[in-house]
Amino acid sequence: MVNLYVNLFVMCSVVVLAHGSSRNLPIVSFEEGYSQLFGDSNLMILQDGKSAHLSLDERTGSGFVSHDLYKHGFFSASIKLPADYTAGVVVAFYMSNVDMFAKNHDEIDFEFLGNIRGKEWRLQTNVYGNGSTGAGREERYGLWFDPSDDFHQYSILWSKDRIIFYIDNVPIREVKKTEAMGGDFPSKPMSLYATIWDGSNWATNGGKYKVNYKYSPYIAEFSDFVLHGCAVDPIEMSTSCDTAPKSQSVPTGTTKESRTKMQNLRKKYMQYSYCYDTTRYQVPPSECVIDPLESERLRGFDPVTFGTSHRGHGKRHHNRRSYRHGINSV
């Protein structure tokens, strides 16, 4: 794997078109933006260099990581997930600095949770900062499409005061920084990662259904890589970027139209939110705004079904042969 360090279109701030579109943002090749994290031959770069396959088999999972650290930005990839029986399989597209800040790391996650045949993939998002793994901010959704049938775009907008998750340029979640959150809001430079690994001990019905390697290799396909942020010097941990917005194309939040789309999607497809989990939080975290109607709807989804919490060291990927275990689950 060529380890080519490139300063990737560093901008003064995150340039994103209205409604979170990334169509006009520069797409980089795999080798411009990423290098292998683990998995040996289970990472395959296609001939055009514009896409990569991550596979999971009995021997190992696989993953890749961005060359650069970033302080805020817009990060995106088109992903096609494995099909058929995928119980216990976890595909993750996320930002993290756990390798640099083992005890107080930040993280912003897309986590795709496989399922038994006939059941859909589920998507989990999570945000935590400064090692606040004891206060997970997970949300889980049933997808309104088959993510193994075609590519869909998954994007993260991270600024100093908010984080927005997008699917196909439509926001599905917005996390605004509040004073009470303090260091729980991600604030330190992070790298971007993608991994596939064996989550048999928790990912499907609390570990009831395991990865069945009869169906392996499980292959997740990635393309349309967007790494559009402010790169950080890994030694000095500094950046020459001015992170103050300078363009009208930089969003300060969701538009009225996109917020309406987000609210409609959340009403239909969100199956779990930490804000309503009274078994974990007798008093909801400070940033939560409780909607009685949403609370009643979510009551039909039993969080125990999704397993107990697996906190702490599991997300570390210091061993190239280890899988990315232990996502905060509910």
User: Which residues are annotated as catalytic?
Assistant: 107, 111
The secondary structure of residue 32, as a DSSP letter, is H
Helical (H) or strand (E) element with 37: strand 34-38
Amino acid at 265: L
324, 314 Cβ separation under 8 angstroms:
yes
For residue 190, the 8-state DSSP code is B
C-alpha dihedral, 146 to 22 to 244 to 6, nearest 10°: 100
Query: Among the residues of the chain, which ranges form H helices?
Result: 30-33, 256-269, 292-298
Q: Measured at the alpha carbon of residue 245, what is the angle toward residues 243 and 251, in degrees to the nearest 5?
A: 120
Q: Which amino acid is at 61?
A: G
DSSP string, 265-279: HHHHHEEEEGGG-TT
Q: CB atoms < 10 A from the CB of 169, how many?
A: 17
Counted residue by residue, the chain has a size of 330
Cα-Cα end-to-end distance for the chain: 37
- Strand 162-167: give its sheet, edge to edge: 43-45, 51-56, 218-232, 69-80, 152-158, 162-167, 170-176
Q: What gap in Å lies between CA 72 and CA 291, rounded to an integer?
A: 30
